[in-house]
Amino acid sequence: MIGVLNLQVLIVEDQLLIAMDLERILTGFGIASVTSAATVEQALAAMAGRRFDLAILDLKLEDGTSAAVAEELKLLDVPFVFATGFTDVGMIAPNM
C-alpha cells in the first residue's frame, strides 16, 4: 500500500525510535512521503525546500521546543498536531 495517499508529512521528533515508528505507521497507511527532522533547524530547513500537507510535532526537543516550527507551519497554513508526553498544556502557546 505504498504511496496510496499523495501526502507530504513532516515529523519533528528527536527520539529516533519514535520517529522511525511514526514513519513506519504513516507509510503503512499509504502516505506517499514522510520526512523526519530531529531539531528545529532540520525541520525549518526541510520546510524551506518543500510544501508539507501536515506535520506531527514533538513539543520538547533536544534543542528546545518545536514552537518555532509550529509558528512557521501556521504561517504557511499547514495543519499540525503536537504529539508529546508532556501534560502541561501551558507549554503550548494559546494561539497554537
What is the distance between the alpha carbons of residues 79 and 95, in angstroms, rounded to a whole number? 13
Q: What is the pTM of this model?
A: 0.85
pLDDT number for residue 19: 96
Residues 33-70 have pLDDT tens digits of 999 999 999 999 999 989 999 999 998 898 888 999 99
Considering the chain, what is the average pLDDT of its residues? 87
pLDDT of residue 4: 65
What is d(CA 22, CA 42) in angstroms, rounded to the nearest whole number?
Answer: 17
Taken in order 40, 67, 44, 73, the sign of the CA dihedral is positive
Higher pLDDT, 1 or 82: 82
Residue pair 26/52 in contact (Cβ under 8 Å)? The answer is no
pLDDT at 71: 95
